[in-house]
Structure 1
């Protein structure tokens, strides 16, 4: 298998290929940089899903510090919106934690953890996957049924088209439907805001959006931490991809190559789980 096939692949080969790639961290398994000359003032566009906005901003800012001739335009939106924008602009790339489309070339940059969050004043600290599923099905109406104090449960989910919602439903719900009584959060930031101000609320969000206004729950006895995402023990995790219609060339290729190097992976590790072990 060639270098490019291991770290950048058409998804038609299956997610298993990418999962293998996550464990191949030697220099020979990284996307090779382009060898052409670099034009001054080159503009690159990235469509970035909302859970990936912190990563998109950190990666592009760090890359510009070492390559000041490159100018990035990052355009945020949910998965469906970003996918539609990419379809109308097929020379650009998108950054996402959800990618079911087998027509796209894609390379992994790390892993994202999906944290289940409750109001900071709610004494519940842990749920099983079964209990979480029952809550989101609407079959558990009060926190007292799960060992908490009496308080009505307010289920909050993301809007249709959200990649985080798609990953949550894949990992937690399977073929089961989320209760139609659930409130809808239009973005990751809005999800945190709703849960923070609503007693009894429960939601889910990329770990990169966690702050002190909400509490992240232990799931099946595993803490929601970047370490546990990286070692594949935390159950709610997804692969972070950069994807496009074509294998990247020159400027995009150099950026993706850099994001898979130690320097780029240290940027990923600020809020996400990197591809490689950064411990000495």
Structure 2
């Protein structure tokens, strides 16, 4: 976590400082209107600001593409954006997976909520119950979100 914070705040600017090659680190971040940006700032940066040198992107897909296409780049995006070209970094020795995120072992994650105006009724209740069902959770997982069970 310390290295991630150092990289994203601009304190660490070369991979050599972390035992890697002598190569400039290019920080890729979500833009400040993103909930992902807010949560990453709270958890990983402990409220500090992302370096002003970061390449700010409007979506997780744009972050993933920029990291893949930029030498020395690092960024953050949802598990669904991992690919052969975009690899996850272990944090505190923990690889991000559905299991480690769901258990809370992976330290950089957020929960998504559904809110209603009062106790859900009618179609709203049916929709929420469907999402919580085994079939609904299969869809959640197929969209590469972490299922509840």
Bin the TM-score by the shorter chain: over 0.9
Larger radius of gyration: 1
* Aligned equivalents of 1:162, 1:246: Cα separation in 2: 27
Per-residue deviation, residues 10-41 of structure 1 (Å, max 9, x unmatched): xxxxxxxxxxxxxxxxxxxxxxxxxxxxxxxx
Aligned to 2:147: 274
After superposition, give the CA deviation of every residue in 1:69-111 in whole Å (9 maximum; x if it has no partner).
xxxxxxxxxxxxxxxxxxxxxxxxxxxxxxxxxxxxxxxxxxx
In the alignment, structure 1 residue 235 sits paired with structure 2 residue 90: no
Which TM-score applies when normalising by structure 1?
A: 0.51
For residue 232 of structure 1, report the CA deviation from its aligned partner. 1.6
In the TM superposition, what is the alpha-carbon distance from 1:175 to its structure 2 partner? 2.2
Confirm whether residue 158 of structure 1 aligns to residue 30 of structure 2: yes
What residue in structure 2 maps to residue 179 of structure 1? 51
Counterpart CA distance in 1 for 2:24 and 2:115 is 41
How big is each residue's C-alpha offset from its partner over 1:183-225, in whole Å with a ceiling of 9 and x where there is no partner? 1011111111111100001100011222222111011000111
Residue equivalent to 2:15 = 143
Structure 1 residue matching 2:87: 3-state secondary structure: strand
Cα distance in 2, alignment partners of residues 228 and 175 from structure 1: 24
Q: Paired residue for 1:201, among 61, 73, 83? A: 73
1:9-48 aligned at under 5 Å gives the runs none
* Map of 2:131 onto structure 1: 259
CA distance in 2, matches of 1:273, 1:232: 12
Task: Report how far residue 267 of structure 1 moved.
Answer: 2.1
Q: How many residues matched?
A: 148
Aligned counterpart in structure 2 of residue 226 of structure 1, from 86, 98, 116: 98
1:189 aligns with 2:61: yes
Structure 2 gap segments, 5+ residues each: none
Question: Looking at both structures, which has the greater relative contact order when contacts are Cα pairs under 8 Å and sequence separation is at least 6?
Answer: 1
State the 1:246 CA deviation.
4.1
> Given the two structures, how large is their TM-score scaled by the length of structure 2?
0.93
Query: Partner of 1:273: helix, strand, or coil?
Result: coil
Q: CA deviation at 1:248?
A: 2.8
Q: Which has the higher strand share?
A: 1
**What is the CA–CA distance in structure 2 between the aligned matches of 1:150 and 1:229, rounded to whole Å?**
32
RMSD of aligned residue pairs (Cα, Å): 1.3
Runs of 4+ in 1 over 2 A off after TM superposition: 243-249
